[in-house]
Structure 1
Amino acid sequence: MLATIPEHALAKSEGEGRIRNDQWHLRFLKASRAHSISQGEGTIVAIPDTGIAPHPDLRKNLLSGVDIIPGGSGDGRLDRDSHGTGMAGLVAAHGRGDAIGALGIAPRSKILPIYDSPPDGDGDPDALAQGIEYAISRGADVISISSVGGTTRRLANAIGTAVASDIVVVAAAGNRPEDSGVGYPASERGVIAVGGVDRQGKHAAVSVSGPEVDVVAPAVDIYSTSIDGKYRKGTGTSDATAIVAGAAALVRSKYPDLPAAEVAHRLTATAVDKGPPGRDDEYGYGVLDLVAALTADVPPVGFGSATAGAPAGSRPVTTAVAEPAGDDGDGGATARGWATLGVIVAAGGAWALVARRRRHGDDPPPRISR
């Protein structure tokens, strides 16, 4: 199930001039400051979704991908739903000049489109698994999954292989009321589970809570690219997931030798704490802070109190204070079920980093939610 609740599409002529202003999440996250440090150069973000249309604001960053299920264009670059195109725009839209068109979190990263989820239909866990396998074979640096749903042995194996291949996997936690808790694959050990906040930086009503949530990002009224050269506004943890995937691309670009587990650690260690002190079920380790993730002095996993195996409720340590995210602007977040969640997995000793964030050892029962 896709983890986005689309609200409306803007006509091309209506959206071009206003869309950047409507992207409140860019100001909230101080994206312009982050872009002076990194824009995601040299990274590939794979997006298994409903396909991705070659929108004018995205076209230069769109690679040739693959169709896992029948009905696409053969290369993943066809979208009849708009969800996949919206997620891609949040990651890597480059716009068209100053303040024209949509802008992504990592506007110089490349997007690998994978058509694995039919429009307005339930996703197949094995199709997602095949998409992840394809992303691994194409050298993806980040896999952004904005969906929740059932699991199979093949899907669990694909996630494990992605982690062992040093790929950052990011997944959506899920949306209320369809989901009552963190869904799969965000609930998988080793995955970065993403929840959502609103324009005030408070827990978004649409976002589920749970002990698996690692980090939160804007998820309400999020504007992005759509099909036919148009724009869309949506709400849900799908959008928050794509935003975090873009952040992972920024970090991987700035620190190209940093292992995937350390990228995840940097994102959570520099997040702005919200709610009760330390990690909690609504905000995880806190609200994404792009600038701090790129600039803070973060001790590596296994250093001091940030060692693997630390108590699940404890917060990773950073020697630099993360600057609180600002808030202004308009927004919208996309909520998608099983086809749009994200996972991050680490191999060997790094596996313990994410394992410590899970308070349960039971796998979720197979399900498809929409």
Structure 2
Amino acid sequence: MSFTRTLRAVGGAVVAGALLFGAAPTALADQIRDDQWPLKSFDAANVWKESTGKGVTVAVIDDAVNAAHSDLKGNVLPGKDVVKGGTADHESVNDHGTAMASIIAGHGHGAGGSEGVKGLAPDAKILPVAVPREADVPDLNAGDSLAEALKYSVDHGASVINMSITTPALTDQEKEALSYAAKKNVLLVVSTGNEGQGHLDELPSHPGVMAVGAVDKAGKVWDKSNYGPQTMVTAPGTLIRSAGASKPYRLANGTSDAAAYVSGAAALLRAKYPDLTAGQIANRLVKTAGLPPGQEGMKLPDPHYGYGFIRPLRALTQDIPAGSKNGPLKTPKTEPGAGAGGATALGSSGTGGESGEQKSSGLGLGAIVGIGAGVLVVVALIVIVVVRQKKNGRNGPPSGGPGGYGGPGFPQQPGPYQQPPAPYQQQPGAYQQPTAPGSFPPPPNQPPGQ
């Protein structure tokens, strides 16, 4: 099994951009920042007045990261390379992990960080966790690597994990590790993939993850963005400028970038609302998502858009009830080998299968004792009624007759076992918000991305 990154270079723009930058980095610095149209669409200047992601660690399970890049220096932790051993902060060949890290937590460089690439959460920390590449290590068991990467990320303080990768299928170890992360209240963000297919692989389909598709400057779904009913949100994924490891900067299309922007938005929210669960963070992103003009009446979630494209400023500032612990996230099932109580997410949305305590293996001891006690109470009542009837000379119908215990007309008795509230359900059109500054598309009379 092997991993494939979900970011695509845009023609020759990456190479050309690298050569030009190498020749005159100062002259191009402002152009690099200008290329970051998502920051303009998000109204990042006002976003950063609310939160910069300070104090939050985002794990990037991907290639190793070039921590020495001028736009990332100081924001990257040592991390771990689960393939080669050692740290994962000194990459100089593969660009993808560095690109994702910069979209999430780049801080730029120059006066006031005004040059180069800036991430959506510029004060967050990146925990790089390197996993195998398909071309580099085709014989390595990638499932074991992903499981190890997930557990390492959780155990080393990540509250958001970005996985801009695809893997054909999940092993039991991977599923156990995903459930472990969900139980530990970590938000899992996964790209949907770049084949334009109407089917999502097992990783973005797994309960408990946020599957992210890509949209363009106008807020319309990118034609190569994979889609399916598990798609939860979308984010910018076309003509995305990011940092590189083998070259200073790159330009690309891909759901990888979209997932990184969602991870950045999640870091902003986790910094501002530290008491919210992963599901409640996802709930804020879902309830403030937007749709492009002409799609406002769409039934949600939509296979292409999910609940819409993220709008971080609204997610940070709108008055939204916290809601259930799991929010829109489904509860992962307990996987083999997970251990008792070791692989279920906080709370239960009621839509993601059974938790470890709710598996359909028969009635538990508490339920059996309760039923037995109830039977004894009913028998005692019958005896009391019969004795009293005989004592008072009343000979009504026997206990099994009309109107008696167990007969027609026996009323339903109120008790403690009331039907629980309905699980989290998205109502069609419930989260449709009008377009506003800081969202897609740009205001009237203004070019896209400006």
Q: So what's the TM-score if we normalise by structure 2?
A: 0.68
Deviation at 1:32, TM superposition (A): 1.6
Percent sequence identity is 33
In the alignment, what sits opposite 1:268? Answer: 286
Q: Distance in 1 between matches of 2:87 and 2:316?
A: 36
SS of alignment partner, residue 33 of structure 1: helix
Deviation at 1:229, TM superposition (A): 5.6
Is residue 46–residue 113 contact of structure 1 (8 Å, CA) maintained in 2?
yes
Deviations 1:306-365 (A, max 9, x none): 9763445646669x977461435669xxxxxxxxxxxxxxxxxxxxxxxxxxxxxxxxxx
In the alignment, what sits opposite 1:66? Answer: 80
Q: So what's the TM-score if we normalise by structure 1?
A: 0.82
Q: Distance in 1 between matches of 2:6 and 2:422?
A: 31
In the alignment, what sits opposite 1:366? Answer: none
Pick from 251, 276, 296: which aligns with 2:318? 296
In the alignment, what sits opposite 2:245? Answer: 227
In the alignment, what sits opposite 1:175? Answer: 194
Deviation at 1:193, TM superposition (A): 0.5
In the alignment, what sits opposite 1:142? Answer: 160
Q: Distance in 1 between matches of 2:429 and 2:233?
A: 12
* Bigger mean CA deviation after superposition, 210-219 or 118-127: 118-127
Q: After superposition, where does 1:1-370 map in structure 2 within 5 Å?
A: 1-7=4-10, 8-9=14-15, 10-11=17-18, 12=21, 13-14=24-25, 15-54=28-67, 55-70=69-84, 74-96=87-109, 97-98=111-112, 99-118=114-133, 120-121=135-136, 124-149=142-167, 150-177=169-196, 179-228=197-246, 230-274=248-292, 275=295, 276-302=298-324, 309-311=423-425, 314=428, 323=436, 325-326=439-440, 327=442
SS of alignment partner, residue 266 of structure 1: helix
RMSD of aligned C-alpha atoms? 2.5
Unaligned runs of 5+ in 2: 329-420
- Residues 42 and 268 of structure 1, relative CA distance in 2, 3 Å threshold: same
Q: Distance in 2 between matches of 1:171 and 1:79?
A: 24
* Bigger mean CA deviation after superposition, 101-110 or 31-40: 31-40
Q: Which has the higher contact order (CA 8 A, sep 6+)?
A: 1
- Residues 79 and 144 of structure 1, relative CA distance in 2, 3 Å threshold: farther
Unaligned runs of 5+ in 1: 332-370
SS of alignment partner, residue 186 of structure 1: helix
Q: Distance in 2 between matches of 1:311 and 1:130?
A: 33
Q: Distance in 1 between matches of 2:258 and 2:311?
A: 13
Q: Distance in 2 between matches of 1:297 and 1:89?
A: 30
Is residue 65–residue 77 contact of structure 1 (8 Å, CA) maintained in 2?
no
Is residue 8–residue 252 contact of structure 2 (8 Å, CA) maintained in 1?
yes
In the alignment, what sits opposite 1:361? Answer: none
Larger Rg: 2
Amino acid in structure 2 at the alignment position of 1:24: W
Amino acid in structure 2 at the alignment position of 1:284: G
Amino acid in structure 2 at the alignment position of 1:309: P
Q: Distance in 1 between matches of 2:190 and 2:258?
A: 9
Deviation at 1:38, TM superposition (A): 0.4
Aligned residues: 327
